[in-house]
Chain A
């Protein structure tokens, strides 16, 4: 590089400095891109997001196919029931992965680099979340074809598929906010176990395996109060029949409430981490 071009670039940089802070969106995009690179470079990270949901679809549909014969079960095709759940599982772990990456950054000191940038702090939180929402499309795009090959039918058409996609994004965001909230407080990768435990409990203490009507005892009580139950119900509509507003709005409301609560949890954690 010649002295002239070096000097010219220096002037450009100087000008930038005087102009002010960079906007939130380019920063968020660059951080999301970084997330993509990390994912490609740690191949094992793909397992809970794609491999496990596929396994889950095959295993649960294979082992528990008979429950579709129970009265009160909304469909006689077990795959219709399981595929949306598997997709949301993958989406939840897409959200987790992002928290894991942040934990890694905190542990190896790279987070300081991010904090030293003159960008608005919001970009540092939004970037990973946007990335997790994008990543949640992976299980969607892989599990649904697998399920379709196995015999699942999307009777609700493209609208049904769109609602499932929406639910996947919601799930990823909720899991991501939960994960970030924990990681900001624990500040290392060890937070991973706690985040996963929370995700697992939320996923399974819901209508994941059977509808509310078939549950016995304490599980029904818990599932009725678990916001994820309504998000999952919203997601399943297209696979069980037509998409209706009655089954959609509880899911949206649950997401908004969940996002508000977990968002506050994450933001408070972030504020304590960063002056």
Chain B
């Protein structure tokens, strides 16, 4: 990268890159948040499902083996948040693919922007949105009688996990977008994520499931993450539960980030 001196730019490349990352992150956040279409899968749809499920399945809390919740809503909080982060993330994360489709990506690459800032900025944006969603969901559920037993520590862990999960799904969307260059291809992953969330402990305790379905749900890492966070919500703060949840989210993020960076390098090489 040639170091050109401009009148206004800070001289140190690292600070420059940081500024660029922040700018791109900002673009990512605002660009996604401004589309009304995003808010449906990210917030409205999961809340709607939660409302219906609470009212319909509420009596299930009386079943033997059901976790000791104050309300079905308390049970659903974590699963609902997971839905919102994953669905919102895949729909919102398709904007990198859109940039490629529109040619903006090429323009970014040809500009003096630090290459990695493009990806980092995008994912930082995802993290911010994920954290924001966590705050919204916690707030809405608390208002409807679903408090968090684990207190502020639990809230912090939930928000952090949501952010990391958002990076994981953002990385997946970015990697896929970089690979295919098609916004539609990324958004078509929605059903896949829907299945992933459904066959987990998001909507119902796995302990109360039967047969092959139970085995599948129990083997799903998403279930481990949700169960961990749910401990914090229902019972109280517990270090191992918190760590489990964070570990799963981080593991997923590591996987998808590898995918994203590999695809990113591939595309840069092709463009060079």
Contact = CB atoms under 8 A, between A and B. Distances in A.
Task: Verify that A and B bind, or say they do not.
Answer: yes
Nearest to A69: B63
Contact of B199 (A59, A64, A215, A216): A59
B203 A205 contact: no
A63 B209 contact: yes
Contacts of A216: 54-55, 58-59
B209 A210 contact: no
A58 B198 CA distance: 11
Contact of A204 (B52, B59, B209): B52
A74 to B, nearest CB: 14
A119 interface: no
Interface string A113-150: 00000000000000000000000000000000000000
A65 to B, nearest CB: 5
B199 to A, nearest CB: 7
Contacts of A215: 55-56, 58
A58 B195 CA distance: 11
Contacts of A218: 55
Given A59-B198, A70-B63, A65 B209 contact: yes
Interface string A202-217: 0011001110001111
A67 B57 contact: yes
Interface in B181-215: 195, 198-199, 203-204, 208-214
A217 B52 contact: no
Interface residues of B, number: 26
Nearest to A63: B204
Contacts of B213: 58, 61-63, 65
B235 interface: no
A13 interface: no
Contact of B209 (A55, A62, A69, A208): A62
Given A63-B203, A65-B209, A210 B63 contact: no
A209 B211 CA distance: 20
A219 interface: yes
Interface in A80-131: none
A66 interface: yes
B58 A66 contact: no
Interface in A51-80: 55, 58-59, 61-67, 69-70
B7 interface: no
Contacts of A58: 213
Contacts of B204: 63-64, 66
B258 interface: no
B102 interface: no
A214 B199 CA distance: 24
B10 interface: no
Interface in A193-248: 204-205, 208-210, 214-220
Interface of B: 52-60, 62-63, 65, 195, 198-199, 203-204, 208-214, 216-217
13 contacts: A58-B213, A61-B213, A62-B217, A63-B198, A64-B203, A66-B60, A66-B204, A67-B63, A70-B62, A209-B52, A210-B56, A216-B54, A220-B55
Given A62-B216, A66-B208, 15 more contacts: A62-B210, A62-B211, A63-B217, A64-B203, A64-B204, A65-B208, A65-B209, A65-B213, A70-B62, A205-B52, A208-B56, A209-B56, A210-B57, A215-B56, A220-B55
